[in-house]
Amino acid sequence: MAEKLDDTRAKAILTSAFQAFSAYGFRKTSMDDIARGAGMSRPAVYLHYKNKEAIVRSLTQAHYAEKIAAVAQALQGDGTVSEILAQAIDAQIAGMSAILASPHGLEMLDTSKSTAADIVAEGEAALADLYAEWLKRELAAGRVRLPDGPAETARTITAALKGIKMTASNAEEFEQRIAQLAALIGAGLEVR
């Protein structure tokens, strides 16, 4: 069943599910755990979601909606190319360290990838489109150089971010690699 993201009960279920998945992992979390955390009965949870997989799909959809809005806002900001890019990347990865800090973080990411692959693909494409549009504007303003063009450069940025997310062994390593990537890409793009 599709739910509205502004629905208070659906939000409570999603918040509870995220907390339970973080604490117990996807496989060990039961619908009872989610219902208890949301302050609802299990049948009430089933009125919104038919199973844990449907909850993961909604969590993934909410994640990308939030990230797309945050990145779009950051890319409208002022500053140097490097500063704007760093702000957009920070907006995109906000909260990821908390997931990776969970002992079940990688399981959560794998579950999202396998359960909501279509949503992940659409979300990643939308983020790449945002970066590409920004790069087109920056190229037109003479602020960047793009040997491979805006779209290819944007896909490289999002693929690199995704790769770091999937390979970092902990939150500290993730943050360190992301900061390094933002600095390298920003310096490489910026016309000096």
- Kindly report, residue by residue over 55-98, the tens digit of the pLDDT: 999 999 999 999 999 999 999 999 999 999 999 999 999 988 88
Task: For the domain made up of 57-189, give the CATH fold.
Answer: Tetracycline Repressor; domain 2 (1.10.357)
Judging by beta carbons within 10 Å of its beta carbon (0-12, 13-18, 19+), is residue 106 exposed, middle or buried?
middle
Pinpoint the residues of the chain covered by CATH 1.10.357.10: 57-189
What integer pLDDT is reported at residue 3 of this predicted model?
A: 43
Q: How far apart are CA 58 and CA 70, in angstroms?
A: 18
Neighbours of 88 (CB within 10 A): 24
Please give the model's pTM, rounded to 2 decimal places: 0.90
List every span in the chain annotated with CATH 1.10.10.60.
1-50
Helix pair angle (52-75, 117-140), 10° resolution: 0
Fold of the 1-50 domain: Arc Repressor Mutant, subunit A (1.10.10)
Share of the chain above pLDDT 70, in %: 97
Q: Given 3-state DSSP classes, what are the helix, strand and coil percentages for the chain, each rounded to the nearest 5? A: 75, 0, 20
For 29, which DSSP code? -
CA distances to 86, 88, 89 from 184, in Å: 10, 14, 12
